[in-house]
Structure 1
Amino acid sequence: MSDRVFPDPYPASKEMLALIARLRAAPFKADTKTVPELRENFERFASGFSDIPASTRFESVDGVGVEMEWAIAENASADAAVLYLHGGGYSIGSIAAYRDHCARLSVTTGVPVLSVGYRLAPEHPYPAALDDARLAYDWLLGQGISADRIVVSGDSAGGGLSLALMLALRDDSRPLPAGAVLLSPLADMAHTGDSVHERAHVDPIVTPAGSHAYSTRYLGEDGDFDTPYASPVYADLSGLPPVLVTVGTDELLFDDSVRVVRKIRDAGGSADLDVWPKMIHIFPFFASQVPESKRAMDYIARFMKDRIGLDQEAEAL
């Protein structure tokens, strides 16, 4: 796989245009609402995109110390896994809100997806989310799933958290996963990328003020916003497994994706950048209704299966 940049102008589907209009009519306004309101609004919004494939079942994981749930498609491979870390600025989002997304990921990859309900800020600030992600990853290894049969994935804050998890594992000389897929990753909590201001007017979800509020909740008013485990663009990104980054051009955080890919490559690693014109923040999340989102999910699944080795196994059969 290599970088994909679709031709522009690129006509967005009527479903995507309707979604953008809907978002602009009722924006999240993350900088003006309380955290309980933000959480409630997101859960309600996410429920509107839930059309879970009937062939998928869900299994809760208890007694681990962090909330987790399997999404398992019919005939999914039992010896591999996708570890999924949801988005939401480290303050909102949940396993329930991402149930449809994780189910579709399991169906398209043929691999069980372990969704992690890590602790949220401001009740549980940095590094609580990273601690929970590590706990979930170690639990997977303890279940007998080899690291080279695991792909880590996440969107927005979950994308940044996926990178942070791999950095922490590398720094502790722990086994690294086979690869990672980052969807519109939040990788710079200081928001220093040019796109934060240059593309704010086209992003119907993320705002500069709202992003700053999320960073403050996670790192504190006097927090260090360039902490590498919270803002991986400031980290040494060498020694990581292959990474796929999917992003839309109409994103305030567009430069986070570009900078992450550039830094991984500059450090000698493998990173593919999949850029979709006219697409918005975390657009693969909307695969139940938006055709571009579904196509992006298919491409993501191909990368994951390649990293885990499922395509080779199918050819061998």
Structure 2
Amino acid sequence: MPQFHGGAYAIGSAADAASLAADVSRRVGARAVCVDYRLAPQNPFPAAVDDAVAAYSALLDQGIPGARIAFVGESAGGGLTVATLVALKEAGLPQPSSAAVFSPWAGLTVSGASATSKADLDPGLTPLGPAAGTEPLASPVFADLTGLPPLLIQVGSHEIALGDAVRLASRAAADDVHVELQVWPQVPHVFQSFSVMLDEADEALQSAAAFTRDHWAAAQAPAEAAPEASLRS
């Protein structure tokens, strides 16, 4: 289960994500792989996307089918998660069984209405101002999401990322993706990392784990039947 850390693509590491990844993997009952992708500005776009695709491809090369893999990402890692799914589609690679993203930074332009309306409520993030970033693999709110696997989006109502999370869900729905949007009231950015002290975080992670397990099982069901069918042919 690859997990992509946050940090605005400029800071953070796989080690920083280990605690949340371990919590999610324990609840799902799966092995977590924290991906240490290259950071900007030393490694400009699309370095992070390339590294995420490479990490997933390595799992496929080990003989692990996409149906047995689920993505998880937080903040910028949430945006990277969805961008990676789009990149996999463009490369003709199989999709994972599902993806769960926590407080995703899905639009580098930060153009959702909550960038200003929630600015005084968000203790963790501040608007970055106008920026380039409408490239779909940088800002998946502008991407064609057709063909992506089931997507779970969790975000807090006090986040400046709220608007883009809602836009991402709307875009996924318009592109016929199975998408679930969960907005948790009055919680901070990536509140899921505070499960030891926030009931909402514990509930959110339980929901994410159930979502992942359900779609994991659904994706593997036809794959398990394939070998028997091939023996009959």
Say whether the fold is shared (TM-score over 0.5).
yes
Uncovered stretches (5+) of structure 2, i.e. residues with no partner: 222-233
Alignment equivalent of 1:139, drawn from 54, 58, 61: 58
Match in the other structure for 1:179: 98
Task: Work out the percentage of aligned pairs sharing the same amino acid.
Answer: 40
Match in the other structure for 1:264: 172
1:1-317 matched pairs, under 5 angstroms: 82-208=1-127, 211-212=128-129, 224-309=132-217
Using the alignment, how far apart are the partners of 1:185 and 1:291 within structure 2? 21
1:202-238 CA-to-partner distances (Å, cap 9, x unmatched) read: 0001001xx34xx96xxxxxxx410110001111111
SS at match of 1:97: helix
Using the alignment, how far apart are the partners of 2:165 and 2:185 within structure 1? 14
**Bigger Cα Rg:** 1
Using the alignment, how far apart are the partners of 1:143 and 1:125 within structure 2? 28
SS at match of 2:82: helix
1:160-206 CA-to-partner distances (Å, cap 9, x unmatched) read: 10011000111121101111101111111111111000110100010
Which residue identity lines up with residue 164 of structure 1 in the other structure? A
RMSD value, Cα: 1.6
Uncovered stretches (5+) of structure 1, i.e. residues with no partner: 1-81, 217-223
Higher normalized helix content (fraction of residues)? 2
Q: How many residues align?
A: 220
Deviation at 1:289, TM superposition (A): 2.9
Residues 70 and 99, structure 2, Cα contact 8 Å, conserved in 1: yes
Residues 5 and 76, structure 2, Cα contact 8 Å, conserved in 1: yes
Deviation at 1:287, TM superposition (A): 1.7
Deviation at 1:144, TM superposition (A): 1.3
Which residue identity lines up with residue 138 of structure 1 in the other structure? S
Residues 156 and 162, structure 2, Cα contact 8 Å, conserved in 1: yes
SS at match of 2:182: strand
Runs of 4+ in 1 over 2 A off after TM superposition: 288-291
Deviation at 1:290, TM superposition (A): 2.3
SS at match of 1:251: coil
Match in the other structure for 1:41: none
1:118-154 CA-to-partner distances (Å, cap 9, x unmatched) read: 1111111111111110110001111111101111110
